[in-house]
A and B are shown apart, each in its own frame.
Chain A
Amino acid sequence: MFLLKLALRNITHAGLRTWLNVIVLSLAFVSIVLTEGLYDGMSEQVRDAEIDSNVGGGQFWQKKYDPFDPFSFEISHSEIPSDLNKEIERGNASPVLIVSAAIFPRHIIQSVRLKGIDPDQKIVNLPASILKEHSDTTSIPGFIGFRMAKSAGLHAGDYVSARWRNIKGTFDAGDIKIIKVIDINSPLIDKDQIWVPLEKLRKIMQAPGQASIIIVHKGITKIHTSSRDWVFKDRNFLLKDLNENINRKKVYSTFFYVILIGMALLAVFDTQVLSIFKRRKEMGTLMALGMTKWNVIVLFAIEGCLAGILAFIAGSLYGFPLLSYLANKGIILPRMIQQSQFAIGLTLYPKYGLRLYIVTSLILFVSVIVVSFLPTRRITKLKPTDALRGK
């Protein structure tokens, strides 16, 4: 207790040296919480966006459907079994028909997927209802995401000719009018894809009542079908790639974390080592005045740790308002990042869990204690008489 009081007095009297340390440490603390919070917020937003716009509560796949094999699309659709049809009528699910097609924007052939979606669907967060605005019967209305628009050079209002093969194997062609280019968060349902009205697609494919996948409402995680032609893929399965991707990126953020903590600790370590050289005479004096070596060691170690505690307090004082402001207002992202492979909204909302806060403080505390203590061990080798001479 006495040593704590002394240490507190020492560091509050030491002025700049202390405050520099406190500032560096607290900056590290706040930046770590912020970056981790950003990362967690981003991951959650990405997952949510993926669920909202694509995954839903899971999907039924026609048993031959393989999203990575465009050649399978010709055979990977079939009629929707009646039990699933009931769920669709109840508004618990929505079918999507997926077929391969070729389009010719700028006179270059490009393979795409035509995805038939019910314009009245309320299952996924896609503005399918805009497809109803189209009255022209000579062309097929469609909407695309901004990634697709960019890669094909398409704009709203453009017509693009498309060619496909119906289920009888006959080639057929027609024009698609791009009604709108929309901000689709998930690249999985954007790249090389054109969304068209389900019934229209069924008609041109001559595949009435058929679908390739059936997306279940995100509030419902399990719907049963007795049909053996349809396999339920749950959320974990559908988000597997995304989660892996997130975890892979997490390594970078951990790297950043380590660097920040390292820098902060270096500052503390530096002060401690410097103190032990610069304050040798003081140590000698303290011992002459009746402190034991052990007292002196503990005193100096406490001084180092107090910097950590002060940093924690300071960091909380300015960090808490700052971090919660950012969490509420969000951070507006430049377009460049939006176009990355992650599906994120325009605004990023950092998310700080209690766990993040506690873990970060604990890691910082423990390392500050270790770093404060390490150099002070040298004091044990110090002879008071040498210390007094300042050597």
Chain B
Amino acid sequence: MIDSKIIEVNNLIKDYSMGKQFFRALNGVNLSVNTGDFCGLVGPSGSGKTTLLNIIGALDNPTGGDAIVMDKSVNSLNHKEAAKLRNESIGFIFQTYNLLPVYTVFENVEFPLLLLKKNKTEREESVMRALEWVGLTDKANSKPNQLSGGESQRVAVARAMVKIPRIVLADEPTANLDAANSHNILKTMQRLNLELKTTFIFATHDEKVIGYLRRKVMLNDGKVIDDINLS
């Protein structure tokens, strides 16, 4: 499994229309990611990191080129298939945590399992295991508004990891966190990457994140300008 290709991006182009004109956010990106990678898309603001992550996560369609995720072309997926791919194989982590505010920590982490129609005992076991990974078993019944930023992001990590997806896409996961919390989160993700062989792709310009990466893909103006192996 290790070193097998899980994501392949070919000459990817993304245009955003701005009234009559359009803006090219991705301009021929080529990239391939292996199973178990812990890699980062690094580049200045506006370089296209989020755009690329969204296309890999089948949340957005490319204008040109293609992204093959787990042997499926995102171009060929309809809404339902894209949702299924995200549901089964991809975990998202966002800069702003995006926890569901009316749910408890437990229910937030449980949510992807509900979508996967797992039974109750299976859900409970998986949720508690995921909360153990991030060290939040004691907060299972808290609501998101009772959590600190670091705790919220750990819940988000647990939610992304609870179904043990093949791929985790994390967009600036540490941008709202202090140094201690950032390291805490990153160590957790690093550990899960090693233990579960989950592929992690970050979009970041945070030096702390870059310090943990084993591979750094440099983006600028919608193009890959460098690809550095750090391990």
Please give the residue numbers on chain A whose beta carbons come within 8 Å of chain B beta carbons, in ascending order.
2, 5-6, 9-10, 13-15, 281-282, 284-295, 383-385, 388
Counting CB contacts under 8 A, is B173 at the interface? no
Closest to A14 in B: B102
Expressed in whole angstroms, the Cα–Cα distance for A5 and B103 within the complex equals 13
Interface string of B110-122 (1 = CB under 8 A from A): 0110111100000
The total of chain B residues at the interface (CB under 8 A) is: 27
Q: Is the CB of B111 within 8 A of A385?
A: no
Other-chain contact of A295, B83, B100, B101, B102 (Cβ < 8 Å): B83
Other-chain contact of B98, A14, A285, A293 (Cβ < 8 Å): A285
Q: Is the CB of A290 within 8 A of B60?
A: no
Closest to A1 in B: B117
Q: Is the CB of B111 within 8 A of A289?
A: yes
Q: Is the CB of B115 within 8 A of A290?
A: yes
Counting CB contacts under 8 A, is B87 at the interface? yes
Q: List 10 A-B contacts (CB under 8 A).
A: A2-B117, A282-B100, A282-B101, A288-B57, A290-B86, A292-B83, A385-B59, A385-B60, A388-B94, A388-B98
Q: Assuming A294-B79, A385-B54, A388-B98, is B59 touching A289 (CB within 8 A)?
A: no
For chain A, what secondary structure do more than half of its interface residues adopt (helix, strand, loop), or is it mixed?
A: helix
A295 contacts which chain B residues (CB < 8 A)? Answer: 83
Most buried by A among B80, B94, B100, B159: B100
Counting CB contacts under 8 A, is B88 at the interface? yes
Closest to A293 in B: B79
Q: Is the CB of B79 within 8 A of A289?
A: no
Q: Assuming A289-B92, A289-B111, is B87 touching A13 (CB within 8 A)?
A: no
B86 contacts which chain A residues (CB < 8 A)? Answer: 287-290
Q: Is the CB of B92 within 8 A of A13?
A: no
Q: Assuming A13-B102, A384-B59, is B94 touching A290 (CB within 8 A)?
A: no
Counting CB contacts under 8 A, is B183 at the interface? no
Expressed in whole angstroms, the Cα–Cα distance for A6 and B102 within the complex equals 11
Expressed in whole angstroms, the Cα–Cα distance for A287 and B85 within the complex equals 11
B88 contacts which chain A residues (CB < 8 A)? Answer: 290
Counting CB contacts under 8 A, is B5 at the interface? no
